[in-house]
């Protein structure tokens, strides 16, 4: 990973549960975007994990969060999902692409905290219903 490498999400939501927006990356002091060509959940998982929001809720293409400006750093990313940052993923070369900013990639990441909370409640309700059903059969 390049020492002068930063990532942020622009024009979306940023709170303790969700972080979303246009993917912007700083390389050599310049913020740029990622082209949506080949942009998928595996690539996005690298961004989300680096930002401390380990769950990918959705990926976006076609400048869903508005068009960025300046460089378009990456296109045709092929991450395995294990990389520390996008510049460790396979790609066609920094700044090499045939994309426009109308193709800027976006992502919605989640901390997963509220998701776990929801599912614990759902599982508890399910368990109670199963027990009620079971006891109803016993007493009939
Ligand atoms: Ca495209
Ligand atoms: Ca990809």
Q: How much distance in Å is there from the Cα of 100 to the middle of ligand 1? A: 8
Grade residue 116 by pLDDT with cuts at 50, 70 and 90. Answer: low
Residue 114 has pLDDT above 70, yes or no: no
Which residue ranges make up each domain of the chain?
Answer: 5-113
**Ligand sitting nearest the alpha carbon of 61:** 1
More confident residue, 94 or 115: 94
Confidence of residue 21 (pLDDT cuts 50, 70, 90): very high
**For the segment 46-81, what is each residue's pLDDT rounded down to a tens digit?**
999 999 999 999 999 999 999 999 999 999 999 999
Separation of CA 76 and ligand 1 centre (Å):
9
* Helix, strand or coil, per DSSP, at residue 1: coil
For residue 83, which ligand has an atom nearest its CA?
2
- Report percent pLDDT > 70 for the chain: 94
- Residue 25 phi/psi, 5-degree rounding, is -125, 135
Cα 38 to ligand 1 centroid, rounded to whole Å: 8
pTM over 0.85: no
For residues 76 and 35, the answer to whether their CB atoms sit within 8 Å is yes
Fold exhibited by the domain 5-113? Mac-2 Binding Protein (3.10.250)
pLDDT surpasses 90 at 139: no
């Amino acid at each position: 990973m390049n020492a002068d490498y930063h990532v942020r999400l622009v024009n979306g939501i940023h709170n303790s549960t969700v972080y979303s927006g246009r993917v912007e990356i700083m390389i050599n002091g310049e913020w740029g975007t990622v082209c949506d060509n080949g942009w998928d959940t595996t690539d996005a998982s690298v961004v989300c994990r680096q930002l401390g929001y380990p769950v990918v809720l959705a990926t976006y293409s076609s400048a869903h969060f508005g068009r960025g400006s300046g460089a378009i750093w990456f296109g045709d990313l092929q991450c395995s999902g294990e990389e520390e940052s996008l510049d460790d993923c396979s790609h066609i070369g920094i700044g090499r692409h045939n994309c426009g900013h109308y193709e800027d990639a976006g992502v919605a990441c989640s901390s997963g905290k509220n998701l776990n909370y929801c599912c614990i409640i759902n599982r508890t309700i399910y368990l109670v219903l199963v027990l009620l059903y079971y006891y109803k059969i016993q007493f009939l």
